[in-house]
Structure 1
Amino acid sequence: MRFAGLTTLAGALALAAVSAASAAPATASGSVALALAGVVAPYSPLPAAEKAAVAAFFNGDSHVAYAKKIIVTADKIVCRASNVDITSRSCQLTFGSHTRTVKGRQANEIFATEALAGVPSDGAAGTIFESLTKLSCTLDPKMIKENGGGGADCTLEPGN
């Protein structure tokens, strides 16, 4: 009987540790960070010149004329895909008080890139979802032009 109580307590502590670890800040760098910035930037409130520079970098052009650092942020991103209605996929991207919903291929690109960046997925009642908060990606055009693998770094918090 005493062991059952200790086992329950140990299980609860382990679950709490896993939950705390999954909510801990995470980082991405290099090609993964560029990909994350690349799929989020088109929906963000960035100026057009910065969106164009991010798109060019993500499209393989490291010789972009834009010289200042670019910061791509999102307060929250929640992506969902159904494992019942296999045609259903969507992402909600929140930038301050503005929320943008994307569906289909664009949502799938964001969903897959979150997974590439290490955002864990979860599921319930026929839905698989991934979410992150406090995304901040910094792109340094000068470093990207050097083609040394650097120039893109992101921080984020997995989960809601």
Structure 2
Amino acid sequence: MRLGRLMILACSLPLASSAAWAAPATTSGSVALALAGVVAPYSPLPATEKKAVAAFFNGDSDVHVIRKITVTADKVVCRASNVDITSRSCALTFGSRTHTVRGREANAIYATVALAGVPGDGAAGTIYEALSKLSCTLDPKVIKDKAGGGADCSFEPGN
């Protein structure tokens, strides 16, 4: 009887950990700004908002946008090989459009997703960082105060 209970518990642990892994997550402050900053160039944002996000990410809070900016992505899936060490890419999905980046840009996105607390995963020589339902809100008025606020993101780890 006791062995049966232990088997049920042991078999349910992977299910519980994968459910926790997919739970919604949030980040704020500098990490949220970085996450918005690496995704925004590929997003369907208007050019003025992309420039504002780039300015914030480059340390310039003196922008002419006063309304909140929302950077979203349906999915961000990054891969790096631990066999072919030159191979790294990220696929960013915005609605029906997917934009693939490679090299330095992919590495920046991969590292920022990891910095945001998304646990990595791997299989067959590839290490993955992935998230879905990304929504980052930047408030230019609060960012201009330079008090650590004004950037918040929510997402679901995994794809």
Task: Say yes or no: TM over 0.5.
Answer: yes
User: What is the alpha-carbon distance in structure 2 between the residues aligned to residue 41 and residue 52 of structure 1?
Assistant: 9
Percent identity for Structure 1 against Structure 2: 72
Aligned residues between the structures: 159
Give RMSD over aligned pairs.
0.8
Match of 2:33? Answer: 34
Shift of 1:27: 0.1
Give 2:135's aligned residue: 136
In 1, Cα distance between equivalents of 2:122 and 2:35 = 22
The reply to whether residue 123 of structure 1 matches residue 156 of structure 2 is no
Task: Give the letter for the 2:67 counterpart.
Answer: K
Once residues 105 and 7 of structure 2 are traced to their aligned partners in structure 1, the CA distance between those partners, rounded to angstroms, is 43
After TM superposition, give the deviation of residue 73 of structure 1 in Å: 0.1
Runs of 5+ unmatched residues, structure 2: none
Superposed displacement of residue 101, structure 1: 0.2
How big is each residue's C-alpha offset from its partner over 1:79-98, in whole Å with a ceiling of 9 and x where there is no partner?
Answer: 00000000000000000000
Corresponding residue of 1:150? 149
Flag structure 1 segments of 5+ consecutive residues without an equivalent.
Answer: none
Q: Corresponding residue for 2:101?
A: 102
Matched AA of 2:71: V
C-alpha deviation, 1:4, in angstroms? 3.2
Q: How many Å separate the matches in 1 of 2:80 and 2:3?
A: 38
Matched, 1:50 2:49: yes
Deviates more, 1:2-11 or 1:121-130: 2-11
Q: TM-score, with normalisation over the residues of structure 1?
A: 0.97
Q: How does 1:41-80 map to 2 (within 5 A)?
A: 41-80=40-79
Q: Deviations over 1:3-34 (max 9, x none)?
A: 43222211122222111110000001000000
How far, CA to CA, are the matches of 2:132 and 2:39 in structure 1? Answer: 13
**TM-score, L = length of structure 2:** 0.98
For 2:35, what is the secondary structure of its paired residue? helix
